């Protein structure tokens, strides 16, 4: 397995969480670092760059054309990313945008052990798992855009329903926006991640 190019910024012990930042098509490992800092100050930030190039633009998996994914490649890339992430200390929370949100969703479905929770900004159901994943105990925020020409609002609804069907606690937000993110939904994501982190700390200290 050749390694990922990635950014890794250690956080403070008190926060004790790692945000795995997964960029959109054409992005890189630096793109979402400011978002990560905003969502949970003090969290460790880990951001791998997608290894697939589409006309020179990094992505996490191949697509045949817009919205038609190469499912063999998606399966392979999901496992490759999951194996890479498994080397880092958790709990890991995915924060993905667009193509990054799609591979985060694929990781939840194919390798459910990797993420404790996920923020999926503009994602849809990327793949049907052969084995039903157990997502109970995991929390996911799905945020779609009502006018998104790439990920339809229905795509976000189906993703939320699919993840719920496997036991995840899913919050679905539909923004009055297209594929681009809004300041309002980033505030919502910040509140969501803050609550998620507090809940996780509480459960860990009760258990420990």
The site for ligand MLT (CB under 6 A) is made up of 24-25, 63, 66-67, 98-99, 102, 150
Whether 70 sits among the annotated catalytic residues: the reply is no
Nearer Cβ to ligand MLT, position 66 or 130?
Answer: 66
With a CB cutoff of 8 Å and minimum separation 6, the contacts of 147 are 176, 177, 178
Q: How far is the CB of 24 from ligand MLT (least distance, A)?
A: 6
Q: How far is the CB of 150 from ligand MLT (least distance, A)?
A: 5
Q: How far is the CB of 122 from ligand MLT (least distance, A)?
A: 7
Q: Is 178 exposed, middle or buried (0-12, 13-18, 19+ CB in 10 A)?
A: middle
Nearer Cβ to ligand MLT, position 103 or 135?
Answer: 103
Nearer Cβ to ligand MLT, position 16 or 178?
Answer: 178
Task: Estimate the crossing angle of helix 99-110 against helix 153-165, to 10 degrees.
Answer: 20
From 47, 98, 106, 139, the catalytic residue: 98
Q: Which long-range contacts (CB under 8 A, 24 or more apart) does 75-79 make?
A: 75/110, 75/127, 77/51, 77/52, 77/103, 78/103, 78/106, 78/107, 78/110, 78/111, 78/127, 79/110, 79/111
Whether 179 sits among the annotated catalytic residues: the reply is yes
Q: How far is the CB of 10 from ligand MLT (least distance, A)?
A: 29
Contact call for residues 61 and 23 (beta carbons, < 8 A): no
Whether 83 sits among the annotated catalytic residues: the reply is no
Nearer Cβ to ligand MLT, position 133 or 155?
Answer: 155
Would you please indicate which residues are annotated as catalytic (active-site) residues? 98, 148, 179
């Amino acid at each position: 397995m050749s390694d990922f190019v990635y950014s890794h910024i250690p956080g403070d012990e008190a926060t004790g969480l790692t945000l795995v930042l997964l960029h959109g098509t054409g992005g890189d490992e630096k793109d979402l670092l400011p978002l990560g800092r905003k969502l949970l100050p003090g969290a460790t930030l880990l951001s791998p760059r997608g290894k697939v190039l589409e006309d020179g633009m990094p992505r996490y998996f191949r697509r045949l054309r817009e919205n038609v994914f190469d499912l063999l490649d998606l399966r392979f890339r999901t496992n490759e990313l999951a194996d890479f992430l498994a080397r880092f200390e958790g709990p890991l929370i995915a924060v993905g945008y667009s193509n990054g949100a799609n591979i985060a969703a694929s990781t939840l479905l194919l390798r459910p052990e990797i993420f404790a929770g996920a923020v999926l900004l503009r994602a849809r159901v990327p793949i049907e798992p052969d084995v039903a994943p157990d997502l109970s105990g995991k929390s996911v925020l799905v945020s779609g855009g009502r006018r998104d020409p790439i990920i339809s609002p229905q795509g976000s609804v189906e993703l939320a329903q699919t993840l719920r069907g496997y036991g995840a606690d899913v919050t679905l937000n539909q923004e009055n926006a297209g594929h681009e993110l809004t300041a309002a939904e980033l505030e919502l994501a910040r509140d969501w991640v803050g609550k998620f982190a507090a809940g996780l700390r509480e459960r860990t200290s009760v258990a420990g």
